[in-house]
Amino acid sequence: YGHLAACKRHSDHKGVMATLENITPKGIKGLDVKGVNFANGFLTEDLELKPHDSAYGMTYTMPFRYMPQPAGNSPHFFQFLQDCWGADEDVEEKLMALQEALCVTLFGMGPRYQRVILLKGVAKSGKSQLLKIAQSLVPEDAKSFVPPNDWADKFLPSQMHEKLINVCGELSEKRKIDGQKFKDIVDGAEMSAQNKGTQIYKFQPICTHWFASNHTPKTDDTSEGFNRRWLILEFNFPIPPEKRRIDIGDIIVAEEREAIVAWAVQAMPRLLRNNEFTLPV
């Protein structure tokens, strides 16, 4: 625009830039409302099901309906959890924390509560099956798989853009987590991202991070800020061989997914009231 009479000074160019920023579309989201985009409507934080509207800015649709009636009617799921945690003194706290973690994931509220979900414990204790169930509650285009020791990478964090859940099946025993990058991403700080061969852009991750591990995370960051961002659900006992089924996660998802989701979203009033997860002992 330098050849124009109205663009001779630096302030003129700043005015042109400001005008362009104002008139350039900012994406499809027109309403700042958190919710879950089910097949039969948009569920708000108040658990009110509203008609679909592009202004909500949803880039995914759950491949099933929101049906509040069967909430908790998932016997296979709760029997599985009983097999995992039934011998633990804090089993009730663990169930509440799990319900809240699933709720936060579905609503894309990970940064609001600033916790990473770590399923930690001994082998054959059910943690991998629970991780499978958690990630199966959201559609494929709402998932990413970026382990935390790769969060300082130039390109990989871009895969979290507009995802609801980020999964790591097993934390590395040797590679360390960059503490500052970890805290920024968990908190949903605005960050620069880039896909190979494309322009750099900015986004704020909304996903909840779910990891499994037999050991504690490795890092040089010993601050309280790093440590407090973990919600650890301990798996202390192997599931007895006679109760063990390698396909139990698939069976539960196939038969009880709608009921599990309906149960999970019931944690929303408690989350809003406490503004924090229930923490197991």
Q: Residues 131-176: pLDDT tens digits?
A: 999 999 999 999 999 999 999 998 999 999 999 999 999 999 999 9
Compute the Cα dihedral for 211, 216, 220, 223 and give only its sign. positive
Helices (H), the chain: 10-23, 75-85, 91-106, 110-113, 127-135, 179-186, 224-227, 248-265, 268-274
The pTM score is: 0.88
The string of pLDDT tens digits covering residues 235-279 is 999 999 999 999 999 999 999 999 999 999 999 999 999 999 999
